[in-house]
Amino acid sequence: MTTISLVAGNCGRGRGYEDGRFEFRSNLYLGKDFLASDLFNNNPFRRKANGCLSKALKGFGNGNGRRFRVIARVKKGKKHDYPWPDNIDLDIKDGHLTYLSHFKPLAEKPKPVTLPFEKPLVDLEKKIIEVCRMADETGLDFTDQIGALENKYQQALKDLYTHLTPIQRLAIARHPNRPTALDHILNITEKWVELHGDRAGYDDPAMVTGIGTMDGKSYMFIGQQKGRNTKENIFRNFAMPTPHGYRKALRMMKYADHHGLPIVTFVDTPGAYADLKSEELGQGEAIANNLRTMFGLKVPIVTVVIGEGGSGGALAIACPNKLFMLENSVLYVASPEACAAILWKSSQAAPKAAEKLRITAQEHYKRKIADGIIPEPLGGAHADPVWTSQQIRLAITQAMDELTKMDMEELLHHRMLKFRSIGGFQEGKPVEPERKRNMKPSDASRLNAADIESDLEKLKKNILEAKVPSDPITDQAIEKLKQDVDIEVTRAFISMGLQEKLESLKLELSRASDNQTLNRNLKVKVDKFMQEFKQNLSRPGAHLGLKQKLEKLSMVSRLIEQKEKGEKLKAEINQKIPSEIKEKLEQLETAQANLSKGDPLDEDLVAEAVKAKKELIEVLKSANLEIVGVAKRKAAAELQEKIVNVKKEIDGEIERVIDVAGLHGKIEELKAEMVIDSSSPKVEKLQAEIKEEIRTALDDTALKQKVENLRREFATSSEEVIDEKVIDDKVIAENGRW
């Protein structure tokens, strides 16, 4: 940039400097004519040796005839050194355009970093170094000892890296010296040019993109770039892209799709950058747009996870046809530390979380998420980065050879099937998830209202119809219900966080029972504990399964208690009834049985039954029992069943008559007329005609005889219950009333 500064001579009112310069402070107006004709016209100016231009201004001066002089100094700025150099080689045949990339070789070799589980190897290394130093100092031959130690070191290295735990593989994936995406790209490409910008004014250094060639074929490379030291990590934002980075990757994907370039992506990020500014700029929208677009790209896509792939930040460039993972890389939806903090309330449980999350390459390959595992040297990819890069190149070229043979439709279908085949489901096999404290309990043990009602009705029926107070089937059902309630109570204690208090109270109660004493403080503790439990249980929507089962158990207990009271009262009444009345009642039951078979009704027996009933009432009153109703007899229930059966026979006969007589047309006509006007003469006429035809066709003596017998039985039973209240299938005993 060229800058022009105007300075005045040492004259007029102003501020002077030691070097002779003077800052003019008067209101001096330089008009258009001056700038156009004087300042930028070289002829009036006199060029001096120091690079300054000067000219005396006419019309300005003091009384002594001295004039103002304006000096313009031209300062030369720096030439732009990025991205373009002074001399550009347009005929470059190989290598990469370094001036288009911030990625430069490190001035110093990175310091070795030892992971915690590698300490046994460090001890062996120290021994080898010590023996070598002794050999150099003494001049003695320690070749055998050094060879034995090196063999031992190699064996220990092999044993250690062939039995790594998930958390150890995660530590290797996060190793600060692990090769980055640009390291691998520069190792596997013959020519490489980095491309920048998202066409919206931003360039995210955490996301690198560019075009490179392998075996003479061009590819679009996209990757998340970590730093190799603290300065680079800050510049690359620790490989956590912002929305600008994902939009930059999306632009390059569309560019590759337009020009038919296969796409290779490298995943190495702990996740998308989750700050407030990124959320305001649409982090989620940028990731979602990448996901949608990648499934529609018409070029082959291969993804390689070279480090750690975290959540949607990794998935935004990892929707490929083929997904490969380095041997010690990881892929997860949430980091083990975050998962442990959520589920176990402590990041110290990260090793357990890493094992449960199945984050390693081996687990992903087993579940068909990854299509292959790329081997690493013993010690991790940082032990031999060039060899690791060549293994990546081999996997990419083999996959691209397979994918490029597919046409567009096959390629899209292949990508769709890859993601549709991930996961699975099982039918018919119950799954009981492990329940943890403060986690929502499973709904497997929660019964719905219909199940509870049906179970309760069955239990109620079994209890009331049991001839003896103890029935094996009913007892078994009640015992199972009690066990279910105990299980639900235990789960409730755990979810409420009261398990430890319960155990301590049990211990104190056992000690108190041994001493045959229960002090007041312990009783207060028990009452307080139960109050807290009931308060937690009474919260709306909490522990619904336990509440439902407790209500069911309470109802069953009341029914059993009522049944026992009824049996006891029945036994007391039977003892007070004379034998003559019992004989008359037995005769009445026999007569009712004969009546149900169709035998004629004996009028004398009816009179005897009425007389026996009055005597029975007098006996009960003498036993200080008040009669509030008479229980419905079994014969009455049988009579009701007979009425229902006869009604079904009549309805069936009517349907048959309608079919035979062809009355369906008239019935439909009647329905249509009733919709229009139910009180019209036509409706009444149609009803009369239909009834007459049905009555004529139903001239059946058998049906009439059955109806007549039912009328007589109903009349007899109604005489027996005159002025008495009928109670539904049970005896009520309360305060001496029966």
Residue partners of 152: CB distance under 8 A and separation at least 6: 124
The predicted structure's pLDDT at residue 534: 80
Q: How confident is the model at residue 497 (pLDDT cuts 50, 70, 90)?
A: confident
Per the domain annotation, does 52 fall within a domain? no
Q: How confident is the model at residue 136 (pLDDT cuts 50, 70, 90)?
A: confident
Per the domain annotation, does 12 fall within a domain? no
Per the domain annotation, does 713 fall within a domain? yes
The alpha carbon torsion through 382, 383, 387, 392 (nearest 10 deg) reads -40
Taking the mean position of all CA atoms in its chain, how far away is CA 211?
A: 38
* pTM, full prediction: 0.51
155-186: string of b/e by CB count within 10 Å (b at 16+)? eebeebbeebebbbbbbbbebebbbbbbbbbb
Per the domain annotation, does 472 fall within a domain? yes
Looking up residue 365, the CATH number of its domain turns out to be 3.90.226.10
Same domain, 658 and 618: no
Q: How confident is the model at residue 140 (pLDDT cuts 50, 70, 90)?
A: confident
Same domain, 523 and 416: no
Across 429-454, average pLDDT: 49
Same domain, 526 and 617: no
Same domain, 217 and 359: yes
Share of the chain above pLDDT 90, in %: 31
Bridge partner list, 332: 310
Give the separation between CA 293 and CA 252, rounded to whole angstroms.
12
How many separate domains does the chain show?
5
Per the domain annotation, does 20 fall within a domain? no
**Residue 332: CB atoms within 10 Å:** 24
Q: Over the stretch 171-187, which tens digit does the pLDDT of each residue have?
A: 999 999 999 999 999 99
Same domain, 364 and 492: no
Same domain, 240 and 307: yes
pLDDT top residue among 7 and 464? 464
CB 374 within 8 A of CB 398: no
Across 34-47, average pLDDT: 42
Across 244-253, average pLDDT: 96
Same domain, 671 and 711: yes
pLDDT top residue among 408 and 586? 408
The predicted structure's pLDDT at residue 593: 65
Q: Over the stretch 534-547, which tens digit does the pLDDT of each residue have?
A: 877 777 667 777 77
Q: Over the stretch 101-124, which tens digit does the pLDDT of each residue have?
A: 888 888 888 888 888 888 888 888
Handedness of CA 716, 720, 723, 725 (dihedral sign): negative
- Residue 255: its H or E element: helix 243-259
Same domain, 332 and 255: yes
Per the domain annotation, does 111 fall within a domain? no
Same domain, 238 and 320: yes
CA 467 to each of CA 15, 274, 389, 473: distance values in angstroms, whole numbers, following the listed order:
123, 72, 85, 13
Share of the chain above pLDDT 70, in %: 64
pLDDT top residue among 305 and 709? 305
| Alpha helices (runs of H) in 677-700, residue ranges in sequence order | 681-697
CB 151 within 8 A of CB 124: no
Same domain, 313 and 251: yes
| Alpha helices (runs of H) in 623-680, residue ranges in sequence order | 634-661, 664-676
Same domain, 609 and 673: no
Bridge partner list, 737: 626, 734
Per the domain annotation, does 109 fall within a domain? no
Per the domain annotation, does 23 fall within a domain? no
- Residue 61: its H or E element: strand 52-61
CB 220 within 8 A of CB 209: yes
Same domain, 401 and 313: yes
Give the separation between CA 213 and CA 96, rounded to whole angstroms.
10
DSSP secondary structure letters along 493-535: HHHHT-HHHHHHHHHHHHHHHHTT---HHHHHHHHHHHHHHHH
Handedness of CA 313, 319, 320, 321 (dihedral sign): positive
Residue-range definition of the domain harbouring residue 666: 635-717
